[in-house]
Amino acid sequence: MNPGRLGAFAAVVLAPAAVVAAVGAGVYVSTPPGDRAVLARVLREQAAFLAVAAVLVTLVAGLLLAAALRRYVAPARRLAADARVVLDANPDHRVTPSGPAELRELATALNELAERYAAARRDVAEQVAAAAADLERERHRLASLMGVLTVAVLVCAEDGRILLYNAAARDLFGDDVGLGRSVFGVLDRDLVVHGLARVDAGSTPHEATAEREGRLVRVRLARVPSGTAGFVLVCEDATRPGRAAARHAELLGSTADLVRGAAGSIGAAAGALLDYPDVPAEQRRRFVEVIAEEAGRLGEATRRLTAEPGIDARGWAVNDISARDLLTAVAARTPQAGLGDPAEDVWFTVDSFAVADALASVVRLLADRHGVSEVVLAAGSDDAGRLGRVDLGWEGPPLGAGDLERGVPDAADVVRRHGGELWADAHHPLVRVLLPRSPAEPRPAAPARVEEPPPALYDFELERFQPDPAAWSEWEASRLDRLTYTVFDTETTGFAPDEGDEIVSIGAVRIVGGRLLRTETFERLVDPGRSIPRTATAVHGITRDLVRGAPPLDEVLPAFAAFASGSVLVGHNVAFDMAFLAAAQRRTGTGLTAPLLDTLLIDGVVHPDHDAHTLESMAERLGVDLVGRHTALGDALLTGEIFLRQVPLLAARGVHTLGELRAAASATAQARTSRRLYRS
């Protein structure tokens, strides 16, 4: 029995007895001394009758008092608890009238008040939504912008906690990036501290290179503007460009050696021909063959040098651009250019800015010096397929010999440095440019998911919810509304880990700054190494075939521990899940050392007069939709929603810190089977 209810029952029984005893003592004291002997004799003679009467009176009075308590006190307590739910957790919850007429009337009045309260909340919410519309649009705009950036961006608080990141950061650093986590988990602390010291000393944004898992990461660090404490990291994988540059330098070196040797051979052969014009025909033929052979070697060296992808001979960074986009860029630079037939399947690998400028300068030459009113741009591929062509055509006379080279020497230089060619047709009004094609057709872009809003990867108010760095490890004193949580759940083959049942799935979600981050989730299937009973499959839908090939728990647990690092663990009936995880922790040496909270015990704190503490009953009370039940991630999301609505109810009862919650939870009747989780 609940200790509180046992105390109430004792009070109900003993109160009438105390009243009877007090009345008897008063009668005895008020009796004159001479009559007390007579009274005492009468009491002794009627002792049995009086005892039975006293017991009957006590029982009747106790029953009447208990009935009064059930009729008035218990309904009043439930009424107060329901009122707290309406006020702090679920404004749409309504009180069920019970008890005497007075309390039913009070419940009706409370429901009317709740209706007005809900209407007022709706009005305020509409006003807040209208006022926040511009801000929300800016946030979505920022999320969209961050999503299309090809470099990783991390915005961090002064203590290194990540406040903002984009999809490129997740691609570069993997699951180690997340809101509320430390950036020092992905980058060396000394590198960041040194960079901040340089920036604070007045240096420009600091650049450095870090190594991560065999890759080189180029890091650019700057302070957050406007005096806000924190810093911004822009990171990109420098391994591939670095290797390309090294390969290019190697090619340049070998080409320079070849050019020196070939130039010497050609010079010697040409000198012999010039100095001895009457050499025999056979010897002259051999000299010419030497010159031709060395010229061929020079041509091959040039081809290898210009064919190297990624960086051209001048150090330009090149990338793929479609023929249509390139010609459109040229047309945007000069009004005389018009689009003809840009082949849809032709892509060039060039410095698009430099090449577009070069082609535009050719169009301007034709317009300014030769009076051409319109130049039609077209594109295609040559027969060999290695080069693509851009044709500039017009109506009128063709260009004369040397007009192109003299008029736009820089354009010819840009094209040649890309390994291409540029010339004017002597018989037709045409300038043809050959440029290197992309070595492989680009993959089609994934279809845009316009039906969903940008992912919420940002939270600028995160820092104010973090505890002081010096007190980060002092969990007990941390406020519940400022902690970071990992809410998790497991699905298993059964209910008895000591009898061989195992975990088949783990799901988790993080809560940061009072928000359930649905983009910060962990979900893994686990191979239990045994069969899965049909009764278990009927609950969670996981079959033996589904987990075949999945990693065992000993491999999944370290990944889960990394995901949950730096946070408080939350679960429903969490002792059940911890019993399954205990053996794997011992085997792997991976400890889940964070504090544990149980929503079942928390419900015992905020709703001590309710008997049902299942997820379903708690969700119904708190107005949480039941979605995704009996999947590990679905139950974790549901538990997280419930926990977020329990926090203000705890605050209403004076429970604000983790230490206070542990003390309150350990005092509940439900904690009997889980008391070992609440250690001082």
Residues 8-23, mean pLDDT to the nearest whole number: 59
Please, what is the average pLDDT of the chain? Answer: 77
Secondary-structure class of domain 318-436 per CATH:
alpha beta
Q: What residue spans of 149-238 are helical by DSSP H?
A: 167-173, 189-200
> Is-contact 595 567, C-beta < 8 A?
no
Confidence of residue 643 (pLDDT cuts 50, 70, 90): very high
Residue with tokens 């230089």: 413
Collapsing DSSP to helix, strand or coil, 597 comes out as: strand
Burial class (CB in 10 A: 0-12, 13-18, 19+), 155: buried
- Of residues 273 and 384, more confidence is placed in 273
CA distances to 60, 116, 218 from 55, rounded to whole Å, are 8, 51, 88
Burial class (CB in 10 A: 0-12, 13-18, 19+), 233: buried
Residues 6+ apart with CB under 8 A from 437: 346, 347, 348, 349, 381, 385, 386, 387, 388
Instruction: Write b or e for each residue in 634-662: b if 16 or more Cβ atoms lie within 10 A of its Cβ, otherwise e.
Output: bbbbbbbbbbbbbbbbbeeeebebbbbbb
Q: What pairs with residue 182 in β-bridges?
A: 161
| Sheet of 485-492, strand order | 515-525, 503-512, 485-492, 568-571, 596-598
Q: Following CA atoms 182, 183, 189, 193 in sequence, which dihedral angle do they give, to the nearest 10 degrees?
A: -110
Instruction: Write b or e for each residue in 509-548: b if 16 or more Cβ atoms lie within 10 A of its Cβ, otherwise e.
Output: bbbbbbbbbeebebebbbbbeeebeeebeeebebeeeebe
Pairing of strands 231-237, 152-156: antiparallel
- Which one, of 431, 433, 432, lies nearest residue 366 by Cα? 431
Secondary-structure class of domain 149-314 per CATH:
alpha beta
The Cα 638–Cα 88 span in angstroms is 18
User: DSSP per residue over 350-378, as a string?
Assistant: E-HHHHHHHHHHHHHHHHHHH--S-EEEE
Q: Which of 370, 427, 630, 656 is catalytic?
A: 630
Task: Give the residue extent of every domain in the chain.
Answer: 1-128, 149-314, 318-436, 475-678
Q: Which of 104-113, 380-389, 506-515, 581-590 has the lowest mean pLDDT?
A: 380-389
User: pLDDT digits over 115-148, tens only?
Assistant: 888 888 788 878 877 777 777 777 777 777 777 7
Q: Is pTM, for the whole model, over 0.85? A: no
User: pLDDT digits over 479-508, tens only?
Assistant: 999 899 999 999 999 988 888 899 999 999
Residues 149-163, mean pLDDT to the nearest whole number: 85
Query: Could you give phi then psi for residue 207, rounded to 5 degrees?
Result: -120, 140
Identify the CATH number of the domain defined by range 475-678.
3.30.420.10
Q: Give the per-residue pLDDT at 678.
A: 42
> Is-contact 627 638, C-beta < 8 A?
yes
Question: Does 300 have pLDDT greater than 80?
Answer: no
Query: Could you give phi then psi for residue 89, rounded to 5 degrees?
Result: -130, -50
Q: Is 630 among the catalytic positions?
A: yes
> Is-contact 381 389, C-beta < 8 A?
yes
